[in-house]
Structure 1
């Protein structure tokens, strides 16, 4: 299958590192004009320089700003232009004992992981519908379904994101715009490395620490390893393409078989 995204502008939130950076890179390599987003212009410019050095044919634009607030989101959208592919990747996570999660933490996780996506969908979906084509992709998590006891607030936010995706898919029905969630399983990023070492012996070498983490804390994984960001990005690129035109309102799993279910 040939994934060709030429002529489409994609905005990937939180795309200066981790899964977001992998998604931005794969979309750009498929021909999309990709807006790189991070909180600071310096961070965004650094990533742009690195990506352009790797491949001079990538069509990239700087879209720095804090999308968790209305003014920041407006600035990012202004820098991006008409968005045909929106990837709501930005999210926060961390381990906190269940009874120690404060009201403030509950609100913060909802605001960052859910309301930020809603705000950007609300701003971009009307244009997609008017143009008769578009893709909205919300990066969810296996934690939406298998809520981990060490971060219930995170699981709650990702479960809510599945509902958001399904609801907006109904709003976009019949317009040529699709809205889907991508359920990412335990993925190898810098942030996850730090998280792993919060839960296993920090003296262990990384390969041993990863195996111990999967054995003790994620034993359901059929891969029995962390997923690489590019593996998530490949699914996103397919769902962002014209090839996925009959997939909408779905929660598509790239979870390494972590979720114990025979249906997506």
Structure 2
């Protein structure tokens, strides 16, 4: 069995990861961490998973304990994984980061969008962008995997076939996307309240969303040249899911 540790298991990403791993025939979650819920059983926080994790308890993240596993998942806010990943990797343990810490290849660009210096810039060149449709073979042997963001996954999967084939004008691409409220995370926020989000739809981060450089990076790599992208995200009154409406001018209309 593959021994798994999860750092940050109390958010929506963490519980979805728990659900998926419970269905994996060769994975066993040995450690799950949470500083705020230390000592609580997973079964008490998520009763729907009580049969899968009857005795698993949240604990404080300690590198020496995480290093006893085969793979460590980070389901944390940005800025956590890049502070612990190096030690874990040095212990011979694979790291799969579901946060944004290793998605961008440029440390300065990451700092610009996330408001802090990157804690492990020397690892950015090693991190494999975890989009299976693009990097399936590289993912298999990677020590460090950066799981793509939600909007970047939807937008890239829709546009990459056109961009790779040279059929889209990369100087004028538009992505108008709509996300469910769970994308904002589990923490209480005014914008996520029922009275704010129900029967409502609104654009947000129109001057620049953190997923914009990640999308541009992927499309630029596929196109082999700079990409001009207008990206506008919207919040819609549904729990989960993303709808991406993508616009591009076709270069060769005979196709």
Give the structure-2-normalised TM-score.
Answer: 0.50
- Answer with 1 or 2: which has the greater Rg: 2
Structure whose residues are more often strand by fraction: 2
Higher RCO structure, 1 or 2 (CA under 8 Å, sep 6+): 1
Structure whose residues are more often helix by fraction: 1
Give the structure-1-normalised TM-score.
Answer: 0.48
